[in-house]
Amino acid sequence: MADDAALPLTDESLREEVRAWLAANWTGPLQTDAERKAWMAKVVEARWAVPRWPSEWMGRSLSDAQARIVEREFAAVGAPGTGQDRTNLWANTLLARGTPALKEKLIVPLLCGEVGMCLLYSEPGAGSDLAGIRTRADRQGDHFIVNGQKVWTSYAASADYGMLIARTDWDVPKHRGISFFFLPMKQPGVEVRPLRQITGESQFNEVFITDAVCPAENLLGELGQGWGVLQTALAYERSVMGEGARGPRSGVSEGPGEPLIALAREAGVLSDPLIRQEIARVVGLKKLNALNTARAKADLKQGTSSALMSLGKLAMSRILHEEARVRTLILGAGSLLEGPDHPRAEDANFLTLNAYFTSIGGGTDQIQRNIIGERVLGLPKEPEVDRDIPFREVRTS
């Protein structure tokens, strides 16, 4: 008689297992950072954090459909920690392309949220065209020496590592001379300077890198093949940005359900047919984007990239701008107010300004339209006169 353990796991038995585990371990909202870390460690150890991943890397090798069962059960009790095989940009990129040594060192800490990360992609002269980067990494024995400048880097001041793209070969065309690293950030050769944003915050930074040391084992993918690794990382980033974005800043609850409906009801304008039509348009965009995102995720395999992710990312950008516009429409002249005494107006103005973050981060709206046009719709590519010449011969302004 076959061993029961070898039988396929049914949806119902999985659901019962998750519920039993949560009942035995989840005790309610996490109040402190220490509680959050302890909870995340439990989730990772129980292999619920990345249920789609193979068992050798803290997963359960579940199908996407069964992993969604796990996510729904966690969501039902308000417990965080699962679904990181979809949302953890850092860990997914590392699993797909990292060296065995780096994975052994960082996979679990990344899943537990014990390691701070940032993105070291854009440069002052290479924003939308990331292949034009001039930060360099030169091999010296068992490490690389990195020099250059990065900009628009979120949370660089607190990061332990930065996912870095740097040029390692100047004698090949621009896309083929790039390598991808996990650069240690807490070292003398890395200087972080905050940038003031239009929202008054300073989440973005510029980073100056001078003779910084990066171990060779921190190279992801093959030397000079970092462009492909970057596409994998960008796919995960766009996936996360396409699913959702930052909400209101005031912290004042708008109640359950669709926020725009709650806001319109509170403002006494929910019966206005124009307001109802505008809200319906935003809700429709959200529903359509959820369907497109599900399609894109079904198309995305571990360690690959998908042009369909650009659809969700571009759609979320439009949704955020539209939602901010409708909030302002609902509030009318009241949207001109600001400060803690006027939380609804404060939130409307903040979300109007913050919507541009999604229009720029992870590739601008214009870049997403190019990707969709070329890789989804099959339209002709834009001409690139410097695509096939050695990078050292590329002319710069």
Which helix (DSSP H) or strand (DSSP E) does residue 65 occupy? helix 64-77
For the chain, list the domains and their CATH numbers: 29-111 (no CATH), 117-223 (2.40.110.10), 244-376 (1.20.140.10)
Which helix (DSSP H) or strand (DSSP E) does residue 71 occupy? helix 64-77
pLDDT at 190 over 90: yes
- The pair of structure tokens assigned to 346 is 């404060």
pLDDT at 180 over 90: yes
Which residue is catalytic, options 71, 73, 123, 237?
A: 237
Top pLDDT among 201 and 215 is at 215
Q: What is the pLDDT of residue 5?
A: 44
* pLDDT (tens digit per residue) in 73-90: 999 999 999 999 988 999
The identity of residue 18, as a single letter, is V
Largest CA distance in the chain: 75
HSE-up of residue 89 (Cα within 13 Å, Cβ side): 20
The answer to whether 47 and 60 are in contact (CB under 8 A) is: yes
* pLDDT (tens digit per residue) in 298-352: 666 655 556 777 888 888 889 989 999 999 999 999 989 888 888 898 888 888 8
Which helix (DSSP H) or strand (DSSP E) does residue 242 occupy? helix 226-243
Top pLDDT among 289 and 218 is at 218
Q: CA 171, CA 184: separation in Å to the nearest integer?
A: 27
Which helix (DSSP H) or strand (DSSP E) does residue 391 occupy? none
The DSSP letter of residue 8 is P
Q: What mean pLDDT do residues 228-236 have?
A: 88
The DSSP letter of residue 88 is -
Taking each continuous run of H as one helix and of E as one strand, the counts in the chain are: 12, 8
* pLDDT (tens digit per residue) in 353-366: 888 877 877 778 88
- Weakest-pLDDT range from 44-53, 76-85, 203-212, 375-384: 375-384
The identity of residue 327, as a single letter, is R
HSE-up of residue 117 (Cα within 13 Å, Cβ side): 22
Q: Which residue has the tokens 């302002």?
A: 328
Q: CA 364, CA 314: separation in Å to the nearest integer?
A: 8
Q: CA 198, CA 203: separation in Å to the nearest integer?
A: 11
Reported pTM: 0.79
pLDDT at 137 over 70: yes
The DSSP letter of residue 95 is H
307 forms beta bridges with none
- Please provide the average confidence, as pLDDT, over all residues in the chain: 88
Q: Which residue has the tokens 């973005």?
A: 204
Q: Pairing state of beta strands 117-120 and 161-167? A: parallel
- Weakest-pLDDT range from 118-132, 255-269, 294-308, 316-330: 294-308
Q: Which residue has the tokens 């860990």?
A: 91
Sequence-distant (6+) residues with CB within 8 A of 19 are 73
pLDDT at 1 over 60: no
The DSSP letter of residue 300 is P
- The pair of structure tokens assigned to 47 is 């292999």
Q: CA 266, CA 281: separation in Å to the nearest integer?
A: 20
The answer to whether 362 and 238 are in contact (CB under 8 A) is: yes
237 among known catalytic residues: yes
The answer to whether 164 and 135 are in contact (CB under 8 A) is: yes
3-class secondary-structure state, position 301: coil
The identity of residue 119, as a single letter, is L
List of E strands, the chain: 117-120, 136-140, 143-150, 161-167, 178-184, 190-194, 205-215, 219-220
